[in-house]
Structure 1
């Protein structure tokens, strides 16, 4: 493998409760109040999932910031549970990460979520991040991960039907970069406008942040947005949609 294809892993601090923190961004990878519960509240609930999977043959989710993979693992577990009672769509989960964790870092982080131990073990077994695009298969779901700067990688994507890049049509966005004040690159107007262009009419978004300038960038991109009740001690979060 060419050395230049091996991405840089993040430098991490591990807090007393086992939560990883990125000193470079001054933020944790998931909520100390309960990362799994937050993902379910903000990203699944904020996008109307799993209810929106009913009757769909294909469904595409995209996120900025793969991190520990918690959002993907939570979604995969929900999809597999959904499939036990009714037909489930083929899921494409498209994600971006500039500094992918090592398998050892993932294992340590995943210890906080024993409920997802089956899904997380499968992810780590396949985990060999290299720069550029990689597709990993999880049966009913495909994880398509772009290792690199999301602002550059999204430039190669084109709106369109189907599962294969560069054509894609996003049904739901999980906007989950580090705090906007610490990681403004993932919340900038141009990137959010590109996200809007890749979104299917009727597609949705959800994010834990309700920062005013992020809301304005989302609206400027074309999304309709609304505040909703936040998770745990957070008063508000934001959900949005692309009008049909």
Structure 2
């Protein structure tokens, strides 16, 4: 039996993992989905959020031999947590995620992609310290292959995302580098281009692909849970 800590990406929350948590439980595993600071039910003001706060929030709930799963921008959060507390982490799983490179921020990595599908998809706060997905773009970008009604739920629950954590470069050491890693590439992703995902995963020893868009937890939660269970067996 494996234990998973599930970490969401930009503008999302623990709510995205509901069906995956349930399915993993039915498979005999345990899983905990968390709200990062300022997301979901967590009440930290968005302008106070840092990458360090993300890492601390993850490490507070991470017990021994946990598998950390980071979706999208959550790839940076789980790596930051691993840098600070590697001994409790069995494996890092990057789910259609930004996979950190030494000395680079998430924003830096995003700008390296040949395609920029989010250029006209975000509203930036007046103080330029946070952003959110434009409601009229959420369906096409994130819910295009999801069950009916997914957009109606997402548009009400998605919130603002602090820019500071995504503008913070990570210094990578053996603390995180020595932890086994898996990348799950989503081949129909409209948020992070699949080719960019594959490029970021070029040094990952274990890479699998799903035929979904950027929200595999909605589009194919059973398939995602099955991949995670297989990853636990690899571990």
Task: Please say whether Structure 1 and Structure 2 have the same fold, judged by a TM-score greater than 0.5.
Answer: no
User: How high is the TM-score relative to the length of structure 1?
Assistant: 0.35
Name whichever structure is richer in strand by fraction: 1
Larger relative contact order (CA 8 Å, sep ≥ 6): 2
User: How high is the TM-score relative to the length of structure 2?
Assistant: 0.36
Name whichever structure is richer in helix by fraction: 2
